Chain A
Amino acid sequence: MLLFDPLSVFFLIIILTISIPSFIYSFGYLKGHYSGRKILLGHLLFALFVLSLLLVVSAGNIFFFLIAWELMSFCSYFLVVFDSENKKSITAGTIYMIMSQIGTALLIVAFLLMYKYAGSFDFNAVKAALSLLPAKHQDILFLLLFFGFGAKAGIVPLHIWLPFAHPQAPSHISALMSGVMIKTAIYGMIRFIILTLGVNSLWWGELVIVFACLSCLVGIIYALMEKDLKTLLAYSSVENIGIILLGVGGSMMFLKLGYLPLALLAMCAGLYHLINHAVFKGLLFLCAGSVYRGTGTRNIEKLGGLIKKMPWTSSYFLLGSIAISALPPLNGFISEWLTLMVFFLGALTVAGGIKLFFGLAAAALALTSGLAAACFVKAFGITFLARPRSAKAENAKECGLSMNIGMGILGVLVVFLGLGAVYVVKLLVIVSGSALGIEGGQIQLGSNMYLPSPFLPLLLIFFLGLAFVLQRSRVSTNQTWDCGYYKLTPRNEYTATAFSKPFRRAFGFFLRPYRTANKSKDSHYHIKTFSYETHTTKIFTKYLYKNLLGWIFGLARNMRGIQTGSIHIYLGYIFLTLLLLLVFMGRY
Chain B
Amino acid sequence: MIEIIILAFASPLLSGIITKIKNNLRFRKGPGIFQPYFNLIKFFSKEEVVSEHASWIFRIAPPVVFAAAFSALFLLPFGFTGDLIAILFLLSLGRFFLALGGLDPASAFGGMGSSREMFISSLTEPVAMLAVFAIYLDASNIMAVAALFLVALAETSRIPVDNQETHLELTMVHEAMFLEYSGRSLSLIEIAAYIKQLIFFLIIALLIFPGFNGFLFLAAKLLFLCVLVAVTEVSLAKMRLFRVTDFVSFAGLLAVAGIIWKIL
Q: Give residues in A with beta carbon < 8 Å to B.
A: 304-305, 307-308, 318, 322, 325-328, 333, 336-337, 340-341, 343-344, 347-348, 352-353, 355-356, 358-360, 362-367, 369-371, 373-374, 376-378, 380-382, 385-387, 449, 452-453, 455-456, 459-464, 466-468, 470-482, 488, 490, 492-494, 498-503, 505-506
From known contacts A308-B55, A453-B75, A471-B188, infer whether A377 and B107 are also in contact, taking CB-CB under 8 Å.
Answer: no
Q: Could you tell me the distance between the alpha carbons of A149 and B52 in the complex, rounded to whole angstroms?
A: 51
Q: Across the two chains, which residue of chain B brings its CB closest to A330?
A: B93
Residues of the A chain whose Cβ atoms lie less than 8 Å from the Cβ of B125: 366-367, 369-370
From known contacts A347-B136, A480-B53, infer whether A506 and B242 are also in contact, taking CB-CB under 8 Å.
Answer: yes
A459 touching B256, Cβ below 8 Å? no
Chain A CB within 8 A of B140 CB: no
Chain A CB within 8 A of B239 CB: no
A340 touching B85, Cβ below 8 Å? yes
A459 touching B85, Cβ below 8 Å? no
A328 touching B53, Cβ below 8 Å? no
Chain A CB within 8 A of B86 CB: yes
Chain A CB within 8 A of B108 CB: yes
Residues of the A chain whose Cβ atoms lie less than 8 Å from the Cβ of B48: 473-476
Residues of the A chain whose Cβ atoms lie less than 8 Å from the Cβ of B100: 377, 380-381, 385
B96 touching A322, Cβ below 8 Å? yes
Residues of the B chain whose Cβ atoms lie less than 8 Å from the Cβ of A363: 126-127, 129-130, 133, 252
Residues of the A chain whose Cβ atoms lie less than 8 Å from the Cβ of B78: 453
Residues of the B chain whose Cβ atoms lie less than 8 Å from the Cβ of A305: 53
Chain A CB within 8 A of B20 CB: no
B242 touching A505, Cβ below 8 Å? yes
A456 touching B71, Cβ below 8 Å? yes
Best-surrounded residue of B50, B90, B183, B241 (most CB of chain A within 10 A):
B90
B75 touching A328, Cβ below 8 Å? no
For residue B15, give the distance in angstroms from its CB to the closest CB of chain A.
19
Chain A CB within 8 A of B118 CB: yes
Closest 3 CB pairs of A and B: A494-B111, A370-B122, A467-B63
A474 touching B47, Cβ below 8 Å? yes
| CB 8 Å contact bits of B74-103 with A (1 = contact, 0 = none) | 110010111101101110110110011001
Residues of the B chain whose Cβ atoms lie less than 8 Å from the Cβ of A464: 63-64, 66-67
Report whether over half of chain B's contact residues are helix, strand or loop; otherwise say mixed: helix
A498 touching B115, Cβ below 8 Å? yes
B51 touching A478, Cβ below 8 Å? yes
B103 touching A459, Cβ below 8 Å? no
Residues of the A chain whose Cβ atoms lie less than 8 Å from the Cβ of B108: 492-494
Residues of the B chain whose Cβ atoms lie less than 8 Å from the Cβ of A376: 96
For residue A326, give the distance in angstroms from its CB to the closest CB of chain B.
6
Residues of the B chain whose Cβ atoms lie less than 8 Å from the Cβ of A461: 67
Q: Across the two chains, which residue of chain A brings its CB closest to B65?
A: A467
For residue B130, give the distance in angstroms from its CB to the closest CB of chain A.
5
A473 touching B110, Cβ below 8 Å? no
From known contacts A463-B67, A488-B106, infer whether A337 and B85 are also in contact, taking CB-CB under 8 Å.
Answer: yes
| CB 8 Å contact bits of B22-63 with A (1 = contact, 0 = none) | 000000000000000000000000011111110111010011
A367 touching B82, Cβ below 8 Å? no
Chain A CB within 8 A of B121 CB: yes
From known contacts A362-B133, A452-B86, A459-B71, infer whether A481 and B123 are also in contact, taking CB-CB under 8 Å.
Answer: no
B74 touching A459, Cβ below 8 Å? yes
A463 touching B66, Cβ below 8 Å? yes
B96 touching A325, Cβ below 8 Å? yes
Chain A CB within 8 A of B105 CB: yes
